[in-house]
Amino acid sequence: MNQEAAIKKAFTKNLLLWHASVNKRDLPWKEEQDPYKIWLSEIILQQTRAQQGLPYYLKFTVAYPTVKALAAADDNDVFRIWQGLGYYNRCKNMLATARLVTSEYSGIFPDSYEGLLTLKGIGPYTAAAIASFAFRLPHAVVDGNVYRVLSRYFGIDTPTDSKEGKLLFTALANELLDKANSAHYNQAIMDLGATVCTPKKPICSDCPLSRQCLSAGTGLASILPVKSKKIVVKTRFFAYLLMQFKDTIWIEKRGSGDIWENLHQPFLIENSEHPAATADIISMLASQTGIPPNLIVFKENTQQKLTHQIINTSFFVANLNKKPSPSRTNGIWVSINELKKLAFPKTLVSFFKNNLYF
């Protein structure tokens, strides 16, 4: 056996030994074999840390214990549970897949990697995870944790977001996979990346792979893995007007093609690339709603940082003695008591809570 083959064999052996004897990361979807619950956990955990996703997973499995139950759910109820997780297109795709599996597959997930890939919202990583964890098929998962562990251990500086990098890391992951024990291997490498080989300040002293890792003690860990593209962050300026008439609030549902798709919001105007003065915003709100400017009161400013966007928000309130006629006609008046039943972006949830709307 040549040196390279020996290093790869040691990688898999030591990783599985660590998983069996040291790894105590306890999460409810670990050791789960129900493809529905595995799929649900994977959708929730996309772009989401495990501890943040955990309460959502528990809420969903209680409210919808089977894929058929989720398929039959009202969209608003599902989005209401998802509220706060972000990346709401995941929720939309999740509902579409649940309904497809129910209608076309009688509530039974395809039991092959290729079959899983045909479902909406399921890419190579999620298909590999379900195939491995639910059906014990020999497919390696390749997520951010796996990229990080492999790039550091083998000293690979090929960008992970390049076509070449994706092919290279996927091939390497499948070569290292213990094909007879794929579920434990996949769980082990993801847990190692999440708890030991972390993005910042990896704990090399606790790593079972550190003896042969090319990055341990060399400083390479601070620059690996490599990405070729920098995230461009866009700054946006929102102004919400909460129009209240007696015990009702005017709201509308956000459309497709932007953040927070299908969630609800009060009357919104988005400023230009630069923030406007409060008086100017009030004038714009007044002209678009027909509400006298003196009735529009500024409440607060907030900021929410998303992966690719920074949302600066100004909140305004108008208590009215008659219903206005805003320029947009797709909104409805709902009782304040009904607000809790609807799904809103996180920024709006915080505003409603702080101002005792719910």
Q: What residues are paired with 320 via a beta bridge?
A: 245
CB contact at 8 A, 227 and 155:
no
Write out pLDDT tens, residues 320-335: 999 888 777 789 999 9
What local confidence, expressed as pLDDT, does residue 340 receive? 86
What local confidence, expressed as pLDDT, does residue 2 receive? 65
Percent of residues, the chain, with pLDDT higher than 90? 68
The residue assigned the tokens 């101002």 is 355
Which amino acid is residue 231, in one-letter code? I
Write out pLDDT tens, residues 167-199: 999 999 999 999 999 999 999 999 999 999 999
The SS3 assignment for 259 reads coil
What local confidence, expressed as pLDDT, does residue 307 receive? 77
The SS3 assignment for 99 reads helix
Catalytic residue selected from 32, 42, 114, 338: 42
What local confidence, expressed as pLDDT, does residue 1 receive? 54
Q: Which residue has the higher pLDDT, 80 or 4?
A: 80
Judge whether residue 26 has pLDDT over 90.
Answer: no
How far, in whole angstroms, is CA 78 from its chain's centroid?
A: 15
Judge whether residue 71 has pLDDT over 90.
Answer: yes
Judge whether residue 72 has pLDDT over 80.
Answer: yes
CA dihedral 118, 120, 126, 127 (to 10 degrees): -10
Write out pLDDT tens, residues 111-162: 999 999 999 889 999 999 999 999 999 999 999 999 999 999 999 999 999 9
- Active site annotation includes 270: no
Which amino acid is residue 40, in one-letter code? L
pTM of the model: 0.80
Judge whether residue 48 has pLDDT over 90.
Answer: no
Judge whether residue 351 has pLDDT over 60.
Answer: yes
How confident is residue 85, by pLDDT bands cut at 50, 70 and 90?
Answer: confident
CB contact at 8 A, 57 and 29:
yes
How confident is residue 9, by pLDDT bands cut at 50, 70 and 90?
Answer: confident
What local confidence, expressed as pLDDT, does residue 216 receive? 86
How confident is residue 296, by pLDDT bands cut at 50, 70 and 90?
Answer: very high
What local confidence, expressed as pLDDT, does residue 320 receive? 93
Closest CA to 328 of 257, 270, 259, 279: 270
Mean of the per-residue pLDDT values of the chain: 91
What local confidence, expressed as pLDDT, does residue 198 receive? 95
Write out pLDDT tens, residues 242-284: 999 999 999 999 988 788 888 999 999 998 767 778 999 999 9
Helix intervals (H) in the chain: 3-21, 35-45, 50-63, 67-71, 75-82, 89-104, 113-117, 124-135, 144-154, 163-176, 182-195, 278-289, 346-354
* 68-to-95, 97, 104, 123 alpha-carbon distances in Å: 10, 11, 12, 22
Rounded Cα gap, residues 141 and 128, in angstroms: 5
What local confidence, expressed as pLDDT, does residue 84 receive? 86
What local confidence, expressed as pLDDT, does residue 113 receive? 96
Q: Domains (ranges, CATH) in the chain?
A: 3-222 (1.10.340.30), 234-354 (3.90.79.10)
Rounded Cα gap, residues 51 and 247, in angstroms: 37
Which amino acid is residue 31, in one-letter code? E
Average pLDDT over residues 194-209: 93
